[in-house]
Amino acid sequence: MKLKYLGIFLLLATSAIASGTPTACEQIQHACGEAGFTRNLPAGRDLETQCFQPLIQGQVVPGVQVASDLVKKCQAEQSTQPKTNRRKRH
């Protein structure tokens, strides 16, 4: 599951570097970072699982405010990105 999110993040980061403008998803991740969420921390302040994903799913994350249109844009960005890092079950 974490590999899926890492793949999405890398894909979005690459597209933003190419365009020079942060994507909606990157803006949401930045808002999470500004609120004190980071990557690779113990549970509770993890940027991806405790902030970014809940916001994208329409949940409220205390201390983080993002416009609903930004969330919708990020959802659209994610739906148009190719699926990466899919694992086959054996």
Alpha helix ranges (H) inside the chain: 2-19, 24-34, 47, 53-56, 68-80
φ and ψ of 67, to 5 deg:
-70, 145
**What predicted TM-score, i.e. pTM, was given to this entire model?**
0.67
Q: Which among 3, 17, 10 has a CA at the least distance from the CA of 88?
A: 3
Neighbours of 87 (CB within 10 A): 8
Sketch the domain layout of the chain as residue ranges.
2-80
Per-residue pLDDT tens for 39-86? 876 666 899 999 999 999 999 999 999 999 999 999 999 988 776 543
